[in-house]
Amino acid sequence: MEITPAICEIMPYWWHPATKSELVSIYSDKWGRCLRQTHGISTVGEMLHHANKNRSPNCSERVNCSCVPCVEDRAQGCEHPPKCRRNAMKKLHNLEDEWNPVIDREVREHGYPNGDEIPGWTEAGFTTEIVRHPLQLIRIFASVPQDVPVAVIAAPHLNDVDSGTATNVDDVSVWTDGSCTENGSKYAKAGSGLWYAANDARNQAIRLPGEYLTNNTAELAAMLLS
C-alpha cells in the first residue's frame, strides 16, 4: 500500500509504530509536555501544522512575536511558541523517513510529454512554497510578446463641456500605493495611500476593512479614491 501524506498525518504521533530506535528529540522534555498538554497535539498532522506556524509571513520567531499564531499560542499558555514549534519539527524526525511528512517522497515527472521538446514551450518550475489561501496558488503563464504595440492614449478632454466654453484645467498629479500583510489570508491587513504634495490636505491613508484582502485590492482602492 502506498503511504500517502493523508495517511501519514492521521497517524497517532506519541505511540507511532514507526518511531526510530534513537530519538532525535525525547518525548518527555519540556516542549514535549507543552505539545501534549498545552496544544493538545495527538496526531502527526497536528504536529506538522503546529511546526509550520513558524513559516507565517509575519513571524519573527521571537518570544514576543506579535503575529496572530504566536499571540494565540501564548494565550493558550505556551511559554515560547517559536521554540515550541522548532521542537515539534525535531520531533517529527523521530519518525522513520517513510512515515515522516516533512520528507517529500512524492515523485514528480519533469520534462516534456513523451520526452520530446515542444518548440516555443519552456518547462515550468515546481514551487514548494507553503501558502495559507488558495489565491496564493494561482500562477499565470504567458509567452513573451515579440512585437509590443504602442499604447493608444486618448487625448484629455472635459466630459459634457462644450469646447467653446471649456476653461483651462491644470493637470493634477497624485501618487497612489497599496500594501498588504499576510496577503490573501483571513488575517490579512491592507491599506491604501494617496499623496499629492507635502502637507497637502488631500493626502490620505486608509485602512481597508474585511478579511482575505490582497495587495491588488489595496492598489485598486487607492486608484478609485484618487
Q: Give pLDDT tens digits for 192-210.
A: 999 999 999 999 999 998 8
> Is 188 within 8 Å of 213 (Cβ atoms)?
yes
* CA 92/CA 49 separation, integer angstroms: 11
Q: Average pLDDT in the 32-53 region? A: 95
* CA 85/CA 39 separation, integer angstroms: 11
> Is the pTM for the entire model greater than 0.75?
no
Long-range contacts, 196-200 (Cβ 8 Å, 24+): 196/172
Q: Give pLDDT tens digits for 101-119.
A: 988 654 444 455 555 666 7
Which of 40-49, 59-68, 148-157 bottoms out in mean pLDDT, i.e. has the lowest?
Answer: 148-157
Q: Please state, for a pLDDT cut of 70, what percent of the chain lies above it.
A: 70
Tell whether the model's pLDDT for residue 10 goes beyond 90: yes
- Closest-CA residue to 181 (of 59, 49, 73, 50): 59
Q: Where are the domains of the chain?
A: 5-99, 175-225
Residue with more model confidence, 122 or 91? 91
> Is 2 within 8 Å of 66 (Cβ atoms)?
no
